[in-house]
Structure 1
Amino acid sequence: MSGSVLIAAGGTGGHISPGVALAEVLAEKISNFGFEAVYLHSLVRNKDNPDLLNPPCTVLWHNVPQLGGLKTIIYPFLFLFPFIKTILLFHKLKVRAVIGMGGYSSLPSILYAILFRKQLYLCEQNCVPGKITRIFAKFSKKIAFSFPLTEEYSISGKTIGNPIRKRVIPETLNIRQNENLHEGKKNTVNVLVLGGSQGARQLNQMILKTMENPEIASKYKFRLLTGTSLYEETKNKSDGNAEIISYANDMKPNYEWANIVVARSGAGVLAECLVFGLPMILIPYPYAADNHQKENANYIESQGAAVSIHSTSDDPTRLVQILLGWKDHSEILREMGHTSLSLSNVNAAYQTVSYFFSDKV
């Protein structure tokens, strides 16, 4: 097959990161999959996204407006002009296949594939499929899932795992962080707290309150990635016992440092924690679309790699209870770490691309 393949990855980081991971594979082995070139299609507002600052292929920028609010009535008119530009550009670049990573920003690419009869493939990151997947599944040739879908959804596809960027993948797959924890020793347990790129005030406040417990403070060391917008606020409220970081472009050292991760339950964070064999305490974002973070967390918990806290407040009671329960039982962390690693798929990016284009390999 000649022509190019395009990856529509322009929404949030949860759509961009796995899209970039697929682009890495395609850029490296493009001829093996029967194409001449690979492109990423992303929103202009994502130009400062760390994954797109040094991309593995050319990024095509667009500015399709978000659907919703007062713009709903006039949305078709706002959408039309950038969509026409997209059509002309894709024709020029000979786009023959489109991979949609989800989110409204993938709509121009997906519509192009449908209208001009190009091959369409979809990647679904969450246990609850997004609107793009639900609406356009019948038009796609193949769909790859990061995690099994919840029972209420019946969409044909293959569960492979969330594609992970090369720079995040550990050098060796093991659970060395928790193998060195032993009962009866004064081991310090490192807790990495991740609120996402925008941060999470709830998580930050919950951790600061948790650290007020003297037993917790004596056993656990916390590192908070607060998000840039919440850094000063969290730093000012901290008593100095926690390591406060606004944002990290390179997450690998943080994962290698950690014994436990406290985080939201977006698919990207889950996939990265799994490949590092990390036990998780998951606090799903309660207002996520279709409550997909809750279902993601429930799945990981059901497999034994995490414990979930479903709360909209920063009350630390349940978190304190969990950490105190683990304080003298490092075997729990080791077992959860083994389970976490067993759920991972470090080769998800290559396997996803191979699944989509297996007839061309």
Structure 2
Amino acid sequence: MSETVLIAAGGTGGHISPGVALAEILINKREHFKISDVYIHSLTRNKDNPDLISPPCEVLWHSMPQFKAVYFLIFPFQFLIQFVITIFSFQKRSITSVIGMGGYSSLPAILYAILFRKKLFLCEQNCIPGKITRTFHNFAKKVALSFPIREEVFKTKESSVIGNPIRLKVIPEHLNIRQNENLHDSKKNILNVLVLGGSQGARQLNNMILKTMENPEISQKFKFRLLTGNSLYEETKNKSKGNTEIISYSNDMKPNYEWANIVVARSGAGVLAECLVYGLPMVLIPYPFAADNHQKENAEYVENQGAAVIIHSTSDDPSPLVKHLLDWKTNPEQLKEMGHNSLRLSNVNAAYLTISYFFPH
């Protein structure tokens, strides 16, 4: 029997990108996994998301409201309207399986699978499972994990640590080969530092890098490429005085990862997965207000595995970053070892293995 699969990938890029990666595999290996049709279910406000402008399959848009206490009286009616629309849309397309990528926007698809007894699979990107995963894991046939989790919430359910699915356009051309091995040679004068604040940017990271570049020794030994986020580009550009390459956003991250020797970033699961497949050492500055503090847990896992160092700070003080960079410049073997640890943690085939786990053939 062939499956009609819906991927609920709605909230943020951290949910959308791995969902698109799974859709790519389902489309490309349709006959292998006995798939008839594939759909993505996403929020209307994500129509400008780069991964959904030219998606691998049809996107079913919805406007599921996010619960806010101030609107608690009208929320049930808004939710009910969107859920009824979801039911008719899914029944029209004969959905047989739902893959939930997490986030509140996946709720209508998950409820549909439960109420109409369709196959339900969940993907959890972070070391601390999100509310959707914690609430509905007992209804799922299988749960695919990106990292080992600390909370013992899957004792009674089948789960597997596979890795975070990565889009085809991001995957390195030379698989399983150490990325930029020669760039960690101590004879090289300049090391390239890629700074990622996420699609919305991070003022703290932007300002920290600009201050770091004011250090004369840093400016001589490192080159920075700073992805500011669209909303913070002009502000950061106007503040910049040093030799920093400032970009608002990049739709094609592969050249940036190939250029980099070191990454400075938040610790969202998507960024971590992409840096790992390129074998990149990381300086992680977790976003302190992330739900359940999951970025801190993600960062600590990668640091404990020897692939990153963490700066726990909400200020733009450059001192910790300057210290790490100068230490690595004088001790390139440490940086090289971190790169190998990074590559060891990666799973470039996570998307294919996740689909194989959900739909064994």
The normalised TM-score by structure 1 is 0.97
Find the counterpart in structure 2 of residue 272 from structure 1.
274
Among 189, 197, 200, the residue aligned to 1:195: 197
The residue type equivalent to 1:181 in the other structure is: H
Q: Distance in 2 between matches of 1:325 and 1:100?
A: 42
Instruction: Please identify runs of 4+ aligned residues in structure 1 that moved more than 3 A.
Output: 151-156
Q: Distance in 1 between matches of 2:72 and 2:313?
A: 32
Answer whether contact 1:3 1:94 (CA < 8 A) is retained. Answer: no
Find the counterpart in structure 2 of residue 175 from structure 1.
178
* Greater displacement, 204-213 / 122-131: 204-213
Structure 2 gaps of 5+ residues are none
Q: Distance in 2 between matches of 1:312 and 1:172?
A: 37
Q: Distance in 1 between matches of 2:244 and 2:100?
A: 40
Q: Deviations over 1:245-284 (max 9, x none)?
A: 0000000000000000000000000000000000000000
The residue type equivalent to 2:98 in the other structure is: V
Answer whether contact 2:4 2:97 (CA < 8 A) is retained. Answer: yes
> Equivalences for 1:55-134 in 2 at 5 Å?
55-134=55-134
Q: Deviations over 1:303-325 (max 9, x none)?
A: 00000011111111111111111
Find the counterpart in structure 2 of residue 330 from structure 1.
332
Structure 1 pair 214–178 and aligned structure 2 pair: CA distance change class (3 A) = farther
Find the counterpart in structure 2 of residue 135 from structure 1.
135
Answer whether contact 2:7 2:39 (CA < 8 A) is retained. Answer: yes
Among 212, 215, 219, the residue aligned to 2:214: 212
SS in 2 for 1:278: coil
Find the counterpart in structure 2 of residue 357 from structure 1.
359
Structure 1 pair 132–145 and aligned structure 2 pair: CA distance change class (3 A) = same
The normalised TM-score by structure 2 is 0.97
Structure 1 gaps of 5+ residues are none
Structure 1 pair 100–338 and aligned structure 2 pair: CA distance change class (3 A) = same
Deviation at 1:332, TM superposition (A): 1.2
Answer whether contact 2:128 2:151 (CA < 8 A) is retained. Answer: no
Find the counterpart in structure 1 of residue 244 from structure 2.
242
Among 238, 259, 262, the residue aligned to 2:261: 259
Q: Distance in 2 between matches of 1:151 and 1:39?
A: 31
Find the counterpart in structure 2 of residue 12 from structure 1.
12
Find the counterpart in structure 1 of residue 289 from structure 2.
287
* Greater displacement, 319-328 / 250-259: 319-328
Answer whether contact 1:191 1:262 (CA < 8 A) is retained. Answer: yes
Equivalent pairs: percent with the same residue? 71
**2:229 is the counterpart of 1:227:** yes
The residue type equivalent to 1:180 in the other structure is: L
Structure 1 pair 322–117 and aligned structure 2 pair: CA distance change class (3 A) = same
Answer whether contact 1:30 1:38 (CA < 8 A) is retained. Answer: no
Deviation at 1:221, TM superposition (A): 0.4
Q: Distance in 2 between matches of 1:178 and 1:329?
A: 15
Answer whether contact 1:178 1:259 (CA < 8 A) is retained. Answer: no
Q: Deviations over 1:15-38 (max 9, x none)?
A: 000000000000112232233101
Answer whether contact 1:10 1:43 (CA < 8 A) is retained. Answer: yes
Q: Deviations over 1:77-127 (max 9, x none)?
A: 110111101101100100000000000000000000000000000000000
Find the counterpart in structure 1 of residue 27 from structure 2.
27
